[in-house]
Structure 1
């Protein structure tokens, strides 16, 4: 039984570390600049940072539950262990529900992304002060991802092209990826594909974390029940 206690305490401590790791990765995904800032611009009701926000909450809860499990194992408290089990079970059920919802609405998600980007492409040629912040965000994105415009390439910039062309300027020796627009070498690739790839990459990260977390949660529930039963036998 002593060996089982040691293993269980070690697992609960490892669970706390996993919570810290999940929290750190989720915060990185949440704050890293990229396509989600573009799509969530202005009054858009589409918020693509929600999965990362959920993982931040889950990571924090996992840390707390890991501490709860450690206390329950050290003090041999069946009450704390059952609370730990119920907490993990609720999180697991929420993850399953979120996964099902995500799978069902994934085609709708892709459609909303494309529609939002087509609508926001109009802001690039806007000369109003309200669109300046968005234009600067796109210009920064173009420099990082080596693309130009959102949907129709450099033409999306309209009369603002001369002001922002430096952000999508292409080296003349990169002929395969360059095009000439108004006498300037610019990237052929539009940013819509780069944004979609960026969002897909972050979704894969979130899914991977959620899957690994589900395995850990199941193991946690098994360990807590084993210890719960052993304490009852004593």
Structure 2
């Protein structure tokens, strides 16, 4: 019981470092879809801060539990149990918060307010997503018709990062930003019609949903695995605490 608990506490020390690093990555990352999510939704920022707090507390908790198990200190074992219970509750709350706020991400507003030749971290992140995921818009490329600056162009103009490069030989191209013009000699009418845009037709939402469906088993497996280990740590701490109490009681002199 004692040595198994020591192994569990060491695992939580490593787990805490991973969780803390994940939270810092969410806040610091500037070139992925996570950047778009956490910038356009304050609740996701809160979730990232929760991850950082949980990671720091988990590392401290692992150290606390390890000392308590080695020295067999009931007070530290009790604190370890309480911290484990608190961490489990906070992790569930953070997961629920993230899940119910995914639908509030304002990607369509980002597309509507997108400005050509404008240096903006959020716009750059969205350009990166469209180019790397090979998608255009959120639901479909027609989301870009809500952008007044784009649709007021007289020539065929489209988002550069949406350009369909599926036929290109080189995949390691730099992400293009802003709006690009396409010249079609066969086109007779004027105006910027999206039907003539040489862009990906599929929206990014479908790609994101497909990624989640492909990896949902891994995500759930990791979450369930961590929860099981947390429950195991709680049971072992109670077991060792009762064992220490029994030993202390047996050492009491009897007259």
Q: Report the Cα offset of residue 66 of structure 1.
A: 1.1
Once the two structures are TM-superposed, the CA of residue 225 in structure 1 deviates from its matched residue by 1.1
Q: Are positions 1:142 and 2:130 aligned together?
A: yes
- Equivalences for residues 50-69 of structure 1 within 5 A: 50-69=46-65
Aligned mates of 1:139, 1:227 — CA distance in 2: 54
- In structure 2, the gaps of 5 or more residues are 169-183, 185-193, 248-255
Q: Which residue of 1 aligns with 2:107?
A: 117
Contact 1:12/1:220 (<8 A) preserved = yes
1:216–1:163 Cα change, 3 Å? same
Unaligned runs of 5+ in 1: 175-179
1:197 Cα deviation from its structure 2 partner: 5.4
> C-alpha root-mean-square deviation of aligned residues, in Å?
3.8
Tell me the equivalent position of 1:168.
162
Aligned pair in 2 of structure 1 residues 56, 31: CA closer, same or farther (>3 Å)?
A: same
Give the Cα–Cα distance (whole angstroms) in 2 for the partners of residues 133 and 21 of structure 1: 26
Normalization by structure 1: what TM-score? 0.70
**Partners of 1:56 and 1:172 in 2: how far apart?**
39
2:232 is the alignment partner of 1:219: yes
> Could you tell me how far 1:71 is from its partner in structure 2?
0.9
How do 1:72-91 and structure 2 match up within 5 A? 72-91=68-87
Larger helix fraction of residues: 1
Shift of 1:64: 0.9
Conservation of the 8 A alpha-carbon contact between 1:35 and 1:195: no
Could you say what secondary structure the match of 2:199 adopts?
strand
The correspondence of residues 119-134 of structure 1 with structure 2, limited to 5 A, is 119-124=109-114, 126=115, 129=118, 132-134=120-122
On the 8 A contact 1:36/1:49 being kept in 2, the answer is no
2:2 corresponds in structure 1 to 5
Provide, for residues 76-125 of structure 1, a one-character-per-residue CA deviation record: whole Å limited to 9, x for no partner.
211111111111122223334455x549x73xx35423xx222222123x
For 2:33, the equivalent position in structure 1 comes to 35
TM-score, structure 2 as length reference: 0.65
Distance 1:182 1:202, change over 3 A: same
Q: 1:228 aligns with which of 241, 244, 253?
A: 241
TM-superposed CA distance for 1:185, in Å, is 2.7
Structure (1 or 2) with the larger CA radius of gyration:
2
**CA distance, structure 1, for counterparts of residue 120 and residue 70 of structure 2:** 58
Structure 2 CA distance for partners of 1:228 and 1:142, relative to 1, 3 Å? same
Question: Number of residues paired by the alignment?
Answer: 215
1:46-98 per-residue CA deviation (whole Å, 9 max, x = no partner) reads: 44243343233222211111111111122221111111111112222333445
